[in-house]
Structure 1
């Protein structure tokens, strides 16, 4: 009955979000309440699990999400990311531009939320597309989409990556080492595959493009008006690069056995991102002054609140599931009697995340829910937590489609028809999800 009630709970959440258009936060709470009460956790136990789950995930990732969003908001306000994409256009040839764009989106840009990323980079994708040829728009659009979501699920500080790592208690330094390889590699391989697909008759410009719907880049959150007033590009990106170096240094120090308390302090993700936040704040104050910095911070705080709430409630669902005893049942699914248990565990983790994403339409919610379901059974699985986490990340980006608000924003900003958006965004996220799965299996050999 526990499995049945869990399935009903997830179905209720999905139907509320998709059919009734209920906010995911409310839907997740309703689903959590039903699951706890229906499986005998009890009134007090259910509420305690919801509150405890929320608090635990906030302790893991709350500061990281807040710091990361604020860093991105301030760097966007001073025009750092626009300068970066402009540099790519100027210095990279048309043939290499899709790969440069997707690599940049999957490595540097995960510091800002996906909606801001597509608003920022879509004008570059549109304006450079004619230089590539007949399939320039779908190719640049596909490179943009796969780069955004490969970074979002694999690369720190992408929200989905941080959330999965937090829920599965994977050290962020460990995730950074593997994710920083898988993210851009997945994005580039997917873009190559998509380019080959576009050589066929797959794309029909007359039906797949709808350029008159394309929106211009919104300038309300980019406050710098004079490029000469902004710091050089490398300096602007230091608030992102320095934390990544600190976290990576701490991780390698631990792996190689020369870590100590001070190195661990420097490599702690909370401290590293706080250093980045201080750097972004200083740059923003020098560029925009006190008033402009306050405006940028306000934008960041507004975004942070919504992200933290949905992340925390996802942790609540996982805590309630943990109280139901489902962990013992799922442990049986993840413990194969014969064949290849490691591969089976990876496939199951990937499948759970992929099905949740297809149903719910949110990469982050699918990733958080899948991690919440699988997290309680990690101790019973003979697979490294980082491998299961990466499998969830891989599955969570499968086939982004119409039940996602990002789908419609992407369609309008890039000047595509609905069919064209399926052929670009849905296609590349599906390919990226499948392409990354063998890479996760390869990680299992060394993790």
Structure 2
């Protein structure tokens, strides 16, 4: 009955989000309450589990998410990301641009939220697509979509990556080492595969494109305008690069046994991102002044609020699941096949995240919910936590489609029909999810 009630709780969450259009925060809270009360955890114990689960995950990733969002908001306000995509256009040439763009989106841009990423980068795809050839627009769209979400789920400080790592208690330094390889590699390989797909009759411009030529002209003009107020590109990237180097240094120091208290302090993700936040704040003050900096930070606070709540309630769901005793049942499920426990566990984690994403339509909510479900059994399975976390990340990308608000943003900003959006965004996120799965399995055998 515990497993049945857990399924019902998840279905309630999905139906509330999809059918009733209830906010994910409220939906996850209702699902957590139902699960605790229906399985006999009790009124007081259920509320206690929700509160302690929320507090636990906030202690793990609350500051990281808040600092990361604020850094991205200030760099965005300074025009740093606009300047970067302009440099990509001018530096690598049109035909190599899909690979340069997808690599940049998967490594540097995860510091800002996915909705902002597509708004910033869509002018590049729209404006340069015609110079690549007949399938230039879909190739650029595919590169943009796969880069955004490969970075979002695999690369620190992508919010989905940070949330999964926090829920599964995976050190961010460990995640950084693996994710920084898997993210861009998945994006580039997917973009190559998608290019091969476009060589046939797959793309039909008359049915798949709805390009507004006036918007293309306007966006091309905007990209051509130099933003003299923005600091040099390398300086703009320091608030992102310095924390990553600090975290990576701490992780390698621990891996090779030369760490000490000071190195652990410097390599701590909370301190590293705070250093990045200070750097972004100083740059923003010098570029935009106190008022512009205050506006950028206010937008960052606004963006981080719901993200923090969703992440925290994901921790609450995991805590309630632990109270029900479902961990024993799920542990038996994960270890059911004694001949292939690693492969089975990775596939099951991937499958849970993929199904949740197909149902809910949100990569982050699917990843957080899947991590909340799996976290209680993590200690009972013979697979490293990093491999399980990466499997959740991989599955959470699968087949982004019409029940996601990002799908419709992508459609309108890139000048695609609904069919064209399926052929680009839905296709590349599906390919990326499948392409990354063997890489995750490789990690499972070496981690």
Whether TM exceeds 0.5 here: the answer is: yes
**Residue pair 2:127, 2:216 contacting (<8 A) in 1 also:** no
Is 1:119 matched up with 2:115? Answer: no
Instruction: Please name the residue that 1:47 is paired with.
Output: 47
Is 1:434 matched up with 2:425? Answer: no
Question: For residues 372 and 229 of structure 2, what CA distance do their matches in structure 1 show?
Answer: 46
Give the drift of 1:216.
7.8
**Structure 2 counterparts to residues 229-378 of structure 1, below 5 A:** 229-378=229-378
Question: For residues 53 and 426 of structure 1, what CA distance do their matches in structure 2 show?
Answer: 33
Is 1:137 matched up with 2:137? Answer: yes
Distance 1:217 1:349, change over 3 A: farther
SS in 1 for 2:304: helix
Question: For residues 316 and 429 of structure 2, what CA distance do their matches in structure 1 show?
Answer: 28
Instruction: Please name the residue that 1:411 is paired with.
Output: 411
**Residue pair 1:215, 1:413 contacting (<8 A) in 2 also:** no
Give the drift of 1:218.
12
Q: Which runs of 5+ in 1 are unaligned?
A: none
String of CA shifts for 1:314-368, please: whole Å, max 9, x gaps: 1111111111111000000111343211000000000000001001111011101
Instruction: Please name the residue that 2:76 is paired with.
Output: 76
Give the drift of 1:261.
0.5
Question: For residues 443 and 18 of structure 2, what CA distance do their matches in structure 1 show?
Answer: 35
Instruction: Please name the residue that 1:379 is paired with.
Output: 379
Instruction: Please name the residue that 2:208 is paired with.
Output: 208
Give the drift of 1:230.
1.6
Distance 1:28 1:95, change over 3 A: same
305-314 vs 161-170, greater mean Cα deviation: 305-314
**Residue pair 2:209, 2:415 contacting (<8 A) in 1 also:** yes
Question: For residues 287 and 92 of structure 1, what CA distance do their matches in structure 2 show?
Answer: 28
**Residue pair 1:18, 1:403 contacting (<8 A) in 2 also:** yes
**Residue pair 2:51, 2:316 contacting (<8 A) in 1 also:** yes
String of CA shifts for 1:401-447, please: whole Å, max 9, x gaps: 01111001110000001110000000000000000000001111210
206-215 vs 298-307, greater mean Cα deviation: 206-215
Question: For residues 52 and 68 of structure 2, what CA distance do their matches in structure 1 show?
Answer: 24
TM-score under structure 1 length normalisation:
0.97
Instruction: Please name the residue that 2:12 is paired with.
Output: 12
Question: For residues 364 and 269 of structure 2, what CA distance do their matches in structure 1 show?
Answer: 20
**Structure 2 counterparts to residues 47-196 of structure 1, below 5 A:** 47-196=47-196
Question: For residues 116 and 298 of structure 1, what CA distance do their matches in structure 2 show?
Answer: 15
Question: For residues 309 and 134 of structure 1, what CA distance do their matches in structure 2 show?
Answer: 44
- How many pairs does the alignment contain? 443
Question: For residues 104 and 280 of structure 1, what CA distance do their matches in structure 2 show?
Answer: 19
**Residue pair 1:156, 1:162 contacting (<8 A) in 2 also:** yes
**Residue pair 1:106, 1:147 contacting (<8 A) in 2 also:** yes
Question: For residues 413 and 444 of structure 1, what CA distance do their matches in structure 2 show?
Answer: 38
**Residue pair 2:161, 2:393 contacting (<8 A) in 1 also:** yes
Question: For residues 33 and 13 of structure 1, what CA distance do their matches in structure 2 show?
Answer: 11
SS in 1 for 2:212: helix
Distance 1:68 1:151, change over 3 A: same
Give the drift of 1:215.
6.5
Question: For residues 324 and 391 of structure 1, what CA distance do their matches in structure 2 show?
Answer: 25
Question: For residues 214 and 13 of structure 2, what CA distance do their matches in structure 1 show?
Answer: 33
**Residue pair 1:6, 1:35 contacting (<8 A) in 2 also:** yes
Distance 1:403 1:26, change over 3 A: same
TM-score under structure 2 length normalisation:
0.97
**Residue pair 1:18, 1:360 contacting (<8 A) in 2 also:** yes
SS in 2 for 1:228: coil
Question: For residues 23 and 153 of structure 2, what CA distance do their matches in structure 1 show?
Answer: 22
Question: For residues 214 and 193 of structure 1, what CA distance do their matches in structure 2 show?
Answer: 31
**Residue pair 1:2, 1:326 contacting (<8 A) in 2 also:** yes
Give the drift of 1:13.
0.7
Distance 1:11 1:216, change over 3 A: farther
Question: For residues 180 and 214 of structure 1, what CA distance do their matches in structure 2 show?
Answer: 38
Q: Which runs of 5+ in 2 are unaligned?
A: none
Q: Which runs of 4+ in 1 moved over 4 A?
A: 213-219
**Residue pair 1:216, 1:413 contacting (<8 A) in 2 also:** no
String of CA shifts for 1:146-175, please: whole Å, max 9, x gaps: 000000000000011000000000000000
**Residue pair 2:243, 2:276 contacting (<8 A) in 1 also:** yes
